[in-house]
Amino acid sequence: MVFLNRGELESKMAFGTDIFAKYRLIAGKLPEAGFVRSGGVWIARGELLFGKFLAELRLEEGKAPRVTVFDPDGVEYTLVHVESADGEYVNRVRESCRAFLLALRAKCFSEKRFFGGQAERLAATLAERYGEEPDDPWNGKYPGIGVFRRHGGRKWYAIVMNLDGAQLGRPGARCDVLVFRAGENRVAELLKTSGFFPAYHMNRKSWVSVVLDGTLRDDAILAELAAARDLLGPGSKPSAPDVWLVPANPKFYDVVGAFEKDECIIWKQSTAIRAGDTVYLYVGAPYSAILYGCRVEETGIPFEYADENVRMDRVMKIRRLHKFSPDEFPFPVLKKYGVNAVRGPRRMPERLDAALRRKMS
């Protein structure tokens, strides 16, 4: 039995958190990733080095991920967590464990765009409610930034920036700041309320800032963001066709096989997609790449279907225009264009759309 001193125990805690520190859990994907729930804890187990060791990852709300490795006799193999242990064998076990954890991370975590928890929660809720993921017009030049746009238009309704608090009269630390449309009639009212500040870097007559440090509750901010979206209104949609990035999970539907049989297939109707729009299908593992460029032929087709994975009450018809090789636009390439996750239908970054069209021409 190996006993760990205080410093080594801190290292043990870090082994699980360094892999997941910059990633946000997608709880709905835990079961399909192989996690089993036991009380309030989600647990996943996997073999290391062809079954010679067993790794266990435990996820519990409010706590850091916990990783445990067991040797062939079922005894905890604590050396894997000790930085000073640098032998060839322990390194093989350690790297095998990291591969196990990275595989789980790819299945049920998404990379965090923002620095603070409240910004991440708000972004996750907007993605779930409206299918609107933050984009980065500056392509990573400014860390911790994300622009929110209403589907069908290019206008912003909110932006999150990581700023020095001194820029809002709160010196001392950096913080996530949300700046959103409020409208000229609402700005004066909000500025009288604790937690709201004059807009940073936007028109102060119609925009307002909020520091995302938990001072204001998520539901209060989400209500303001819903109103901000409404200010753009349905009239903000452009007449030109829109471009979308849509995920496809081959575990639930064999989209590759479907397109081999027919160039037109039906697909779940998504958000504000209209006939004439372009849809790029990002097909998950084992491809993890954009495979198809499609045109939307028809929308709003009644279609009743439900199982444990998906529910549909209307579908759209999409036509395959081009099939990409999996090595042309895999996920690492998408990240270079500001796409850090493909969890639901989202607007396509203009630079990525241009790159895809060049390949299709």
**Residue among 118, 182, 177 at smallest CA distance from 146:** 177
Three-state secondary structure string covering 242-296: CEEEEEECCCCCCHHHHHHHCCEEEEECCCCCCCCCEEEEEECCCCCEEEEEEEE
Positions of the chain with pLDDT under 50: 1-13, 235-239
**CATH ID of 117-236, from 3.90.1150.30, 3.90.550.10, 3.90.330.10, 3.40.190.10:** 3.90.1150.30
**CATH ID of 243-360, from 3.10.590.10, 3.80.10.10, 3.40.50.720, 2.170.190.11:** 3.10.590.10
- Ranges for all domains in the chain classified under CATH 3.30.1820: 6-110
Structure tokens at 97: 């464990």
The C-alpha angle with vertex 122 and arms to 333 and 299, in degrees rounded to 5, equals 65
pTM of the model: 0.46
Helices (H), the chain: 6-20, 88-108, 117-130, 184-191, 218-232, 255-261, 331-336, 350-360
The per-residue pLDDT for 234 is: 65
The per-residue pLDDT for 14 is: 55
The per-residue pLDDT for 361 is: 78
Q: Looking at the domain 6-110, which fold is it? A: Lp2179-like fold (3.30.1820)
- The alpha carbon of 316 is separated from its chain's Cα centroid by a whole number of angstroms, namely 25
The per-residue pLDDT for 191 is: 92
The per-residue pLDDT for 140 is: 72
- Ranges for all domains in the chain classified under CATH 3.90.1150.30: 117-236
Residue 323 contacts residue 271 (beta carbons within 8 Å): no
CA atoms in the 13 A half-sphere facing the CB of 80: 23
The per-residue pLDDT for 172 is: 66
The per-residue pLDDT for 257 is: 92
